[in-house]
Amino acid sequence: MKSKELKQLFSRQRKLMKAALVINEKLSEVQQEINTLMLRQISSTTPKASSDKDLMTEKEVCDWIGKSKATLYRMRTYHKFPHSKIPGQKAIIYSRKDIEAYIKANQTNKLY
Protein backbone atom coordinates (compact mmCIF):
# COMPACT_ATOMS: atom_id res chain seq x y z
CA MET A 1 0.00 0.00 0.00
CA LYS A 2 2.84 2.40 0.80
CA SER A 3 4.54 1.71 -2.53
CA LYS A 4 1.34 2.64 -4.39
CA GLU A 5 1.18 5.97 -2.52
CA LEU A 6 4.87 6.52 -3.19
CA LYS A 7 4.38 5.90 -6.93
CA GLN A 8 1.51 8.36 -6.98
CA LEU A 9 3.61 10.98 -5.24
CA PHE A 10 6.49 10.45 -7.70
CA SER A 11 4.06 10.71 -10.61
CA ARG A 12 2.62 13.90 -9.19
CA GLN A 13 6.16 15.26 -8.65
CA ARG A 14 7.08 14.57 -12.30
CA LYS A 15 3.95 16.35 -13.54
CA LEU A 16 4.67 19.38 -11.35
CA MET A 17 8.31 19.46 -12.49
CA LYS A 18 7.18 19.43 -16.14
CA ALA A 19 4.77 22.26 -15.38
CA ALA A 20 7.58 24.18 -13.65
CA LEU A 21 9.78 23.76 -16.75
CA VAL A 22 7.03 25.12 -18.97
CA ILE A 23 6.52 28.06 -16.62
CA ASN A 24 10.28 28.73 -16.59
CA GLU A 25 10.36 28.73 -20.39
CA LYS A 26 7.42 31.15 -20.54
CA LEU A 27 9.06 33.40 -17.95
CA SER A 28 12.28 33.40 -19.98
CA GLU A 29 10.35 34.38 -23.11
CA VAL A 30 8.61 37.22 -21.28
CA GLN A 31 11.92 38.41 -19.81
CA GLN A 32 13.47 38.38 -23.29
CA GLU A 33 10.58 40.48 -24.62
CA ILE A 34 10.99 42.92 -21.71
CA ASN A 35 14.71 43.22 -22.43
CA THR A 36 14.07 43.83 -26.13
CA LEU A 37 11.49 46.53 -25.43
CA MET A 38 13.74 48.22 -22.86
CA LEU A 39 16.64 48.29 -25.31
CA ARG A 40 14.38 49.84 -27.96
CA GLN A 41 13.17 52.45 -25.51
CA ILE A 42 16.69 53.27 -24.33
CA SER A 43 18.01 53.54 -27.88
CA SER A 44 15.14 55.80 -28.87
CA THR A 45 15.74 58.18 -25.94
CA THR A 46 19.51 58.37 -26.10
CA PRO A 47 21.12 60.77 -28.52
CA LYS A 48 21.93 59.30 -31.90
CA ALA A 49 25.32 59.63 -33.49
CA SER A 50 25.86 62.94 -35.21
CA SER A 51 25.86 61.24 -38.59
CA ASP A 52 22.29 59.97 -38.03
CA LYS A 53 20.66 63.38 -37.70
CA ASP A 54 22.66 66.57 -37.55
CA LEU A 55 19.84 69.15 -37.53
CA MET A 56 17.65 69.23 -34.44
CA THR A 57 14.59 71.09 -33.19
CA GLU A 58 14.40 73.02 -29.94
CA LYS A 59 12.55 70.16 -28.24
CA GLU A 60 15.15 67.62 -29.38
CA VAL A 61 17.97 69.80 -28.04
CA CYS A 62 16.19 70.30 -24.71
CA ASP A 63 15.65 66.56 -24.35
CA TRP A 64 19.23 65.82 -25.39
CA ILE A 65 21.00 68.23 -23.04
CA GLY A 66 18.41 67.99 -20.26
CA LYS A 67 17.53 71.69 -20.11
CA SER A 68 14.24 73.58 -20.35
CA LYS A 69 13.22 75.77 -23.28
CA ALA A 70 13.72 78.85 -21.11
CA THR A 71 17.27 77.78 -20.25
CA LEU A 72 17.97 77.08 -23.89
CA TYR A 73 16.71 80.58 -24.78
CA ARG A 74 19.05 82.13 -22.16
CA MET A 75 21.95 80.07 -23.45
CA ARG A 76 21.26 81.31 -27.00
CA THR A 77 20.85 84.92 -25.86
CA TYR A 78 23.62 85.31 -23.29
CA HIS A 79 26.12 82.51 -23.89
CA LYS A 80 26.27 82.32 -27.70
CA PHE A 81 24.79 78.82 -27.82
CA PRO A 82 25.04 77.70 -31.48
CA HIS A 83 21.80 77.95 -33.45
CA SER A 84 20.44 79.05 -36.82
CA LYS A 85 17.25 80.82 -37.76
CA ILE A 86 15.46 79.72 -40.89
CA PRO A 87 15.03 82.83 -43.07
CA GLY A 88 11.41 83.95 -43.32
CA GLN A 89 10.31 81.66 -40.48
CA LYS A 90 10.25 81.75 -36.70
CA ALA A 91 11.82 78.31 -36.45
CA ILE A 92 15.26 77.95 -34.95
CA ILE A 93 17.35 74.89 -35.76
CA TYR A 94 20.42 73.47 -34.08
CA SER A 95 23.36 71.51 -35.40
CA ARG A 96 24.35 68.53 -33.28
CA LYS A 97 28.00 68.91 -34.30
CA ASP A 98 28.04 72.60 -33.29
CA ILE A 99 26.42 71.82 -29.94
CA GLU A 100 28.90 69.02 -29.23
CA ALA A 101 31.79 71.41 -30.02
CA TYR A 102 30.21 74.11 -27.80
CA ILE A 103 29.80 71.67 -24.90
CA LYS A 104 33.41 70.46 -25.21
CA ALA A 105 34.69 74.04 -25.32
CA ASN A 106 32.61 75.12 -22.31
CA GLN A 107 32.76 72.07 -20.04
CA THR A 108 34.65 73.91 -17.31
CA ASN A 109 32.33 76.94 -17.46
CA LYS A 110 29.13 74.88 -17.08
CA LEU A 111 27.30 77.02 -19.62
CA TYR A 112 25.36 74.10 -21.02
End-to-end Cα spacing for the chain: 81
The answer on 63 and 42 residing in a single domain is no
**Cα–Cα distance for residue pair 37/74, rounded to 1 Å:** 37
pLDDT tens for 12-59 read: 999 999 999 999 899 888 888 877 776 677 666 555 544 457 899 999
Angle, in degrees to the nearest 10, between helices 96-105 and 58-65: 40
pLDDT in tens, 61-110: 999 988 999 999 999 998 889 999 878 888 899 999 999 888 888 776 65
In a domain, 4, yes or no: yes
What pLDDT score does 51 carry?
A: 47
Q: Total domain count for the chain?
A: 2
Strand segments, DSSP code E, in the chain are: 55-56, 84-85, 92-95
> How many other CB atoms sit within 10 Å of the CB of residue 93?
16
* Full domain range(s) for residue 81: 55-105
9 domain residue, yes or no = yes
> Is residue 23 included in any domain, yes or no?
yes
